[in-house]
Amino acid sequence: MTSLAGPLISLLLSVLAERLLKRGTPREWCFLGGIVLLAGSALWTVDLIVQAQTLPLLSFRMPNKGDLLMARFNWVYCNLLFSLQTVALALLASSKTLLTREKQLAIERAALQQARLTALRYQLNPHFLFNTLNTISSLAADSGAHEAEEMIAGLADFMRASLSSSMDASITLAAELETTQAYLAIESVRFGERLVVEYLCEPDLSDALVPSLILQPLVENAVKYGVARSKEAVHVRIAARANQKELILTVEDDGCCAPGKLAKAGTGVGLKNVAERLDALHGKEAIMRTEQRTRGFLAELRMPLNISLSYNVKRR
């Protein structure tokens, strides 16, 4: 009967190990270790009782202390070794289960991030589209047919560029600037000489990778709060520079908001959208900083500097 004690306890330990390791809390790990120690102690106690009762009957001589100690040691050693082997097998099976669960969680997190980025895209496009169509409607009402036609053509170019890549994709800075220029072409029809655009981008950064449509909301914010509320010409500066392994993009304007409007500039859907996209794509490696000034507003993006592979091929 005692020969069955070790295997039975081993089987119990393997079942407990597999169930507890699926949860994996520190308290349950300690509980499992306590069970192993308790099982070893139980085997030791049972062996003491059995050896004390059976050895004198199986031998014509009284066993000495050395015989009892050796028999006791062998019994406990073999059963504990079997128990540890069984637990090791349970650990191996549980590790495979945990690995499968981690892969599933990674897939679910990626799907959640993609859904989040898609939702942000649907939030951005209607926001810009509404503003543009409202402007076209105003031009048509004022008999500005030619200007309205130019805005419709510019809108088509912008929407084509914005829909050609997904929100989680990276494009070159040069391509992103082309999309921004398509947007500014629309606003130039609306504001004329009141909108003056400057580009200060380092030539070597043309093939730097950036999230698609990352600059347009910043430029739109400058137009909405700087140009639209000023009767004078407003300069909108778009700059790109590198600082070691970091890409820094800035959009600033020197427009003057109306009194009481300073606190509201830069708090709308567009900038919030950019901040959330940076967080979803780069996490703590990217940051967005805004600064309200007496004249104008500054928005700065910092993200890892990555150069397109095609650029590296061209340089060879």
Alpha-carbon distance values, 187 to 114, 233, 282 (Å): 31, 13, 31
What pLDDT score was predicted for residue 71?
57
C-alpha distance from residue 286 to each of 7, 118, 269, 279 (Å)? 56, 20, 19, 7
Global pTM reads 0.58
* Token pair of 19 as six digits: 């169930």
In whole angstroms, what is the distance from residue 180 CA to residue 176 CA? 6
Q: Is the pLDDT of residue 193 over 70?
A: yes
Q: Which residue has the tokens 């940076």?
A: 278
**pLDDT score, position 209:** 94
Confidence at residue 312, expressed as pLDDT on a 0 to 100 scale: 43
CA dihedral 108, 109, 111, 112 (to 10 degrees): 120
Asked whether the predicted pLDDT for residue 68 surpasses 50, the reply is yes
**What mean pLDDT is reported for the chain?**
73
303 in Cβ contact with 286 (< 8 Å): yes
- The more confidently predicted of residues 314 and 100 is 100
35-39, 191-195, 208-212, 310-314: segment of lowest average pLDDT: 310-314
Residue 89 has pLDDT above 60, yes or no: yes
pLDDT at 154 over 50: yes
Encoding tokens for residue 282? 């780069």
Where does 80-233 show beta strands of DSSP type E? 170-172, 195-201, 209-211
pLDDT at 115: 62
Please state which of the ranges 59-68, 94-103, 264-273 shows the lowest mean pLDDT: 59-68
What pLDDT does 271 receive?
A: 84
Full set of structural domains in the chain with CATH: 2-105 (no CATH), 144-315 (3.30.565.10)
Encoded amino acid at 72, one letter: R
Which residue would you say has higher pLDDT here, 71 or 212?
A: 212
Which element (helix H / strand E) includes 264? none
Q: Are 174 and 238 in contact (CB under 8 A)?
A: no
110 pLDDT more than 80: no
Residue 290: the pLDDT is 93
Tokens of 44: 């030791």
Residue 313 is predicted with a pLDDT of 38
> What are 217-275's pLDDT values in tens digits?
899 889 988 998 888 999 999 999 999 899 999 999 998 754 445 444 445 667 888 88
- What is the share, in percent, of the chain residues with pLDDT greater than 70? 52
> How far is the C-alpha of 296 from the C-alpha of 254, rounded, in Å?
4
